[in-house]
Structure 1
Amino acid sequence: MHFLQAGANILAEAIQRQKAKETLQQQSEELALANRLKDEFLATISHELRTPLNSMLGWAKLLPTRNFSPETVSKAIETISRNTKALAQLIEDVLDMSDIIRGRLNLQVEPVSLDLVIEQAIASINLAAEAKNIQICSHINDSVGLVMGDSTRLQQIVWNLLSNSVKFTPNGGKVEVRLTRINNQAQIQVSDTGRGISADFLPHVFDRFRQEDGSITRAYGGLGLGLAIVRYLVELHGGTIQAESSGYGKGATFTVLLPLV
């Protein structure tokens, strides 16, 4: 009997050691992944900050020293303006993510009409869409009702989704925005005919500092923080967001559900 008890104790200790070893290995792998994601993010932000800055500084140095034609001056001003806006957006994303991590992002809550929010977001993205000959179609049910939220942050949600769709949709593509009512919730859907999302990456599409392919992000620009910020803002409004895609080249659909007043 004592032998059986001793054997059982030895077996239990062996199982505990194995579990501890597996837990330690899992923690080590998670730490290695976190460090790799951090390094990739720092490399990306360094690249994304330098690119617009180099263009702006280049023109800023050239304009006072040479007599350019009016057309060239106009092009230079437009380039500086465009890159200034891109740089400002990068900084806003980093500051928003910093506030999110520290729990300092607050909402100015009031009754909000989502049809107005969507119209304003579309107006803000129209120039970028026109530059790529992308058609933005809106299907808005203006009788959906009101949600309680921060109109600026709600517009940021829609703008980010639209911006993402326009960025990853090739020239001549199409982006659709729908606002409907599902029971006691407002549903916003943004669909596109863009490059789509792989099945492997789909569960991680809203993770912060997580990118499907660094080279793709470099090619299209951005820090890869937009969707993480969108998910946080949606959840802060008591809603949910879901991404769907049939794979590469088949577009993507993002669905936001927000509780109605």
Structure 2
Amino acid sequence: NGTIDIIFTETCNQYVRVNMSKIIIQVFDALGTPDPMSNVYIHVINGTGGENIISLLTNEQGIAKGIEIPELDFWYLTNTKYNFTLEYFGTTQIFNVSSDQYSTPPDTFIDVFNYTLVKNGSIEFKIRLNLDNYTTEFQNTTWDTDLEWESEFFFRVRFVSTTNALDDPPYWVPINEPDYVIWEIKDKYGDETLYSGNMRFEGEGYFNHTFDSTSLIGNEQYLFVVYGKKTGYQDPDPASMLFTVSPKVTSLGVYNTTSMASLGSNVTQ
């Protein structure tokens, strides 16, 4: 008597044959030297039905990749019509096109490109975009300029951006989701960094930090410097705030330990 265990393994192979081809898509700047452009969304739309198929994002080489899995190239069904639109930080862009099927004249810019995939091919988009318009800066800078040693110094800035920096005046909007806003305390010449950290977000682009001056030296000046970054925009000039840690006034007295009579005093700093 005994028990026999029988384990079955079933394999099912399915062969699916689909006519697909790969498109290599790259984006450049159309103004001046054609430098690759990163952070450009390329929306791929069904040219017949109009539904969105996928959105790609360009890397530092300007090559369009998948957002979820950027390591994978994308393949598309052949004999299918596709429409391509380009978006840069919420703004639809106009562009010039060079492809294996059709190229626009040098000075012609469009906002939708119609493409029928027949075989493996490549598309180059050149965006008419002046990156000098995409700027950030620090505004409304306030801080404690002179407090006594052991006091808490308060520093505050507003981080803003614009897409029309070359206009007069530009239109600024608050940055609430920056890559970072950090602070450093330096000597008064800005040569040595003594302390550093992240600014605290308040809202509407405002960031602040409170620093306890106990770790600093009285009767000295220091620089509080703020740096920020927002991808797709030019970095702002650092916000530099000069502040003074005043000496703490103390009193030194001499007493007779028997009678506790004062023998004199002196005010020191």
Q: TM-score, structure 1 length as denominator?
A: 0.20
Q: Larger relative CO (CA 8 A, sep 6+): 1 or 2?
A: 1
Q: TM-score, structure 2 length as denominator?
A: 0.20
- Identify, as 1 or 2, the structure richer in helix: 1
- Higher-Rg member (1/2): 2
